[in-house]
Structure 1
Amino acid sequence: MINVRSLAAGQVIDGFRLEQQLDPGGMADFWRVSHDGEALPLIMKIPLLRRGEDPLTIVGFEQEQMILSRLSGPHVPRFVAAGDFERPYIVMELVPGRSLKTLLDRAPLPAAEVAHIGAEIAEALHSIHRQHVTHLDVKPSNVILRDDGSAVLIDFGLSRHDQLPDLIAEEFDEPVGTGAYVAPEQVRRFRGDPRSDIFSLGVTMYFLATGERPFGEPEREAEWRRRLWRDPYPPSRWNPLVPPWLQEIILRCLEIEPDARYSSAAQLRFDLQHPDGVALTERAARRDRDGPLTVLSRWLKVRNAPPLRMRSVAGVLDRSPIVMAAIDLSAADDLGDALAAALRRVLATVPDARLACVNVLKVSRLALDPMEDAKGRNPHLQRLVELKHWARPLPVDPERITYHVFESPDPAAAIVDYARNNHVDHIVMGARGSSPLRRYLGSVSAQVVAQAPCTVTVVRRPRATDEAGPEG
C-alpha cells in the first residue's frame, strides 16, 4: 500500500520517478512523474485509501483503471500504466492546457465562446460514446482545454462501459455523481444513457452563459430529486444577452426526459457550430419556469414511473445518426424524387436522425462568378430557397433538419469535407447517367464514395444520360 503522506520528490514507484506534487483532488493525490523511454509529460494519480475513506474512492479507482485503459484518441489522456491494490495508482499523459473550471470566474461568457467550448466538449463526448463509454460526471473540473481549444475529458471513476462490469451500480444503492450536474435519470439510479452526459454539458453551458447553476448546488439526494419535476429558469432571466438560439440549445439539453434532449453529442455539436440553422421552439422565448400544474403533473408521473430500461451507448447512437442529403437541384424531377424516396426509407429506420440537406454551387477556380443570375437573384439564396422547397415533403421534425449551400470549384471535396467535419454517418446522393465525359473526368458520386468517411448511398434514376454530376 502506498502511504501518500510519506511520498517525496525523487522517490521511485515501479520505475516512475516522482518529480513534483500537484494540487490534490477530492479522491486522489497527483504527482508529476517521469519514466525512462517516455517523452510525454506524465501524471500519477494515487487514490486516497486511508481508513474511513469513502468506499466510492476504492471502487471508482478500479472502474477508472478498467475504462481509461480501453479509451484512445485526442479527447482522453493516454493511459500508460496502473498498479494493483498493493500499489494503487494510474499513470497517464499529463495533458497540457487549462481546466475549464478556471473560466468560471469570467462567467457569463459571450454566446460565441460558450458555443465554441460546448462544441469542443460535445466532440469529446461523441468520441468516448463511440467507444461504448458514458462519462457520467461531466463538469468543468473534469474538462481540460488544450491550447488549440480542443477538449479533453478526465476522471472516469464514475463512468460506465457497455462491455465491462459496472462496479458502481453493483456496489452502491444510492445515486452517485456531482449534485449540480447529475442528470434526472442518474438520480433514479440509471447509468445506461449517453444523453446523461448531454444534460451535464447543458448545465455547464448554462453556467458559462449566465454565471448561475440551473439547479443550484444541492448536496443531498432529496435535493437532487427536484430536477425530476422542476425545470430551471431560462438562461435569459439571468443574462438578457443570451441569444434565442443558445437558450434553445441549452434548455433542450436540460430536458427532464432524455428523449426530449439531443439524441447524440454529435447532433448537439452540429447545432452549436451552426447557430443560424437552429430551429427555434417555445424554449427560445421562455422567460419563466413552468407553472405549478405542469410541475405537479411531472411529480405524479415520477411517483408512478416504472423502472428505466437499460440501453447501450451503441444502441442510442445507432438510433440518432447524422444523415446528409447531397442534392443536385439542377437535375430532373425524377432523380430528385428518387433521392427523396431513398431518404424516406433511411429516415424510417432511424427516427431520431438529424438530416442535413446540402447543395454545392459550383464556382470557377479562377474567374469571378456573377453575384446575380439573369433575373437579378442571388444564386446562393436562390439555391437555399429551392433546397427548402425540395425538402418540405420529407417526414422530418423541423428541429432535426438544416439546409446548407456551399460554393466550391470541387463539389466532391466540399461534400466529403462537410461529412468529415460534422461527423456525418450516412450520405445519400444522386448520380446521373453514364456518358463519355463523366467516364473521362470521373463522377462526383464516385469521388464521394471513394473518399467519404461514412456510408454512402448513391441513387440513380431509371433513364439518364446527362453529363454533369450532383454539383448542379
Structure 2
Amino acid sequence: MPVNNARVESQVIAERYQLDTQIGHGGMAAVWRARDLRLGRSVAVKILRGEMGSARDEVERFRREAATLARLAHPNIVTAFDADTMGRTPFLVMELVEGRSLHQLLEAGPLAVPHAISIADQTAQALAAAHDVGIIHRDIKPANIMLTPNRTVKVLDFGIARLTDSPQAALTRTSAVIGTASYMAPEQAVGAQVDTRTDLYALGCVLYEMLTGNPPFPGGNALSMLHRHLNEAPVPPSALHSGIPPAVETLVMELLAKDRGNGRPPPGMCSGG
C-alpha cells in the first residue's frame, strides 16, 4: 500500500477503515484521519511507512506500541481501538484527538501559569497511570501532548516506551540513547537504565517551556544539549519570565534535578502552587 502517496485518500483498509486525510507523520509512520465504517465513527489510523515494513525492529516496535496502549486506560492517554496488518504493513487504530498539540500552542509564547500547571498536572496523571502498569514513556515533549478544545490533555506516541517488566521490550540496548534531546534526562542521555523518574525530568522540561517559552537548554545541536542536561543547572524560570510563583519554580527545579535520587517528586505533585 502506498501510504506516503496522497492518492491513498478514500482507500479502505481491512475492509473497515476509510482513510481521509493525513494529519501527522514521523520518521517511522504516518497518521491518517479515517472513518470506521463498521461503527460509524472517526478514528486515527497510524500506518508504518512502506520502507519500514522490511525493518524487523521497526515492525516489532510498532507492534509493541499497540500492545503498550492496550495496557492503558486513562482519560489523559490516547485510546487504542484496534491493530492489524495490511499485507506485511502493520497499522494501529486509535481515538481521534481533536485539538492542537502543546508544541503548536507554544508557538505563541509562554502560557499563563494556571494553564501550564493544569497541563502539567494532567500529564503527570497520565504518567502515573502508565507507571502503575510498568510503562515508561521516554519521549514526553510538547509534540506528544495534545490539548482538546475543552483543554483536556491526551498523551500520545508510546512508540519508544519501555516496559519495566520486560527488559527486552524496549528493543534497545542499555547503552542506546533514544528520545528527544531537548527533554532528555541525564541518565537517558548517557544510555543508562531509565525508570519512572526519567519521564518526570522530561515533564519538568515541558513545564519549564510552558512557563518561559523555551526548554531549559535551548539552541545548539543535540550533543550540546545533552552535555548541558548532564552538566549545567537550568536558569530559574523566574529569571526569564515574571509572575511565576515560588512554589511552582521550586517544583520545576525539583523535577529537573540531575540526580534522580534527590528531587523529582512523584507524578501527581504538579497540581496547586
TM-score, normalized by length of structure 1?
A: 0.53
Report the counterpart of residue 95 of structure 1 in structure 2: 97
Q: Detail structure 1 runs of 4+ shifted over 6 Å in the superposition.
A: 51-56
1:222 positional shift: 5.8
1:29-68 matched pairs, under 5 angstroms: 29-50=30-51, 57-68=58-69
Provide the secondary structure at the position in 2 that maps to 1:102: helix
Q: Is the 1:49–1:58 Cα contact (8 Å) retained in structure 2?
A: no
1:132 positional shift: 1.6
User: 2:37 and 2:213 mapped to 1: Cα distance?
Assistant: 45
Report the counterpart of residue 137 of structure 2 in structure 1: 135
Report the counterpart of residue 24 of structure 2 in structure 1: 24
Q: Is the 1:187–1:221 Cα contact (8 Å) retained in structure 2?
A: no
Equivalent AA in structure 2 for residue 216 of structure 1: P
Residues 275-329 of structure 1: per-residue CA shift (max 9 Å, x gap): 2xxxxxxxxxxxxxxxxxxxxxxxxxxxxxxxxxxxxxxxxxxxxxxxxxxxxxx
Report the counterpart of residue 125 of structure 2 in structure 1: 123
1:185 positional shift: 1.1
Report the counterpart of residue 255 of structure 1 in structure 2: 257
Cα 1:231–1:124 change in 2 (3 A) is same
Cα 1:172–1:82 change in 2 (3 A) is farther
Q: Is the 2:174–2:192 Cα contact (8 Å) retained in structure 1?
A: no
Q: Which range moves more in the overlay, 39-48 or 149-158?
A: 39-48
Provide the secondary structure at the position in 2 that maps to 1:31: strand
User: 1:56 and 1:220 mapped to 2: Cα distance?
Assistant: 24
1:111-190 matched pairs, under 5 angstroms: 111-170=113-172, 173-190=175-192
1:224 positional shift: 1.0
1:191 positional shift: 4.5
Which protein has greater RCO, CA pairs closer than 8 Å, 6+ apart? 2
User: 2:140 and 2:41 mapped to 1: Cα distance?
Assistant: 26
1:143 positional shift: 0.8
Q: Which range moves more in the overlay, 226-235 or 31-40?
A: 31-40
Residues 392-427 of structure 1: per-residue CA shift (max 9 Å, x gap): xxxxxxxxxxxxxxxxxxxxxxxxxxxxxxxxxxxx
1:410-429 matched pairs, under 5 angstroms: none
Q: Is the 2:113–2:244 Cα contact (8 Å) retained in structure 1?
A: yes
User: 1:218 and 1:56 mapped to 2: Cα distance?
Assistant: 30
Report the counterpart of residue 15 of structure 2 in structure 1: 15
Cα 1:263–1:252 change in 2 (3 A) is closer
Provide the secondary structure at the position in 2 that maps to 1:148: coil
Provide the secondary structure at the position in 1 that maps to 2:8: coil
User: 2:49 and 2:39 mapped to 1: Cα distance?
Assistant: 26
Cα 1:25–1:234 change in 2 (3 A) is same
Equivalent AA in structure 1 for residue 239 of structure 2: R
User: 1:90 and 1:51 mapped to 2: Cα distance?
Assistant: 15
Equivalent AA in structure 2 for residue 111 of structure 1: V
Report the counterpart of residue 3 of structure 1 in structure 2: 2
User: 1:172 and 1:15 mapped to 2: Cα distance?
Assistant: 41
User: 2:55 and 2:260 mapped to 1: Cα distance?
Assistant: 30
User: 1:256 and 1:139 mapped to 2: Cα distance?
Assistant: 18
1:92 positional shift: 0.9
User: 1:22 and 1:106 mapped to 2: Cα distance?
Assistant: 24
Cα 1:92–1:200 change in 2 (3 A) is same
Cα 1:163–1:243 change in 2 (3 A) is same
1:60 positional shift: 3.5
Max Rg structure: 1
Residues 413-466 of structure 1: per-residue CA shift (max 9 Å, x gap): xxxxxxxxxxxxxxxxxxxxxxxxxxxxxxxxxxxxxxxxxxxxxxxxxxxxxx
User: 2:216 and 2:177 mapped to 1: Cα distance?
Assistant: 19
Equivalent AA in structure 1 for residue 176 of structure 2: E
Q: Is the 2:110–2:213 Cα contact (8 Å) retained in structure 1?
A: yes
Q: Is the 1:235–1:242 Cα contact (8 Å) retained in structure 2?
A: yes
Q: Is the 1:195–1:262 Cα contact (8 Å) retained in structure 2?
A: yes
Equivalent AA in structure 2 for residue 10 of structure 1: S
Alignment length (residue pairs): 270
Q: Is the 2:46–2:91 Cα contact (8 Å) retained in structure 1?
A: yes
User: 2:235 and 2:164 mapped to 1: Cα distance?
Assistant: 34
Cα 1:186–1:20 change in 2 (3 A) is same
User: 2:242 and 2:265 mapped to 1: Cα distance?
Assistant: 28
1:192 positional shift: 3.4
- Equivalent pairs: percent with the same residue? 27
In structure 1, the gaps of 5 or more residues are 276-472
Cα 1:38–1:51 change in 2 (3 A) is closer
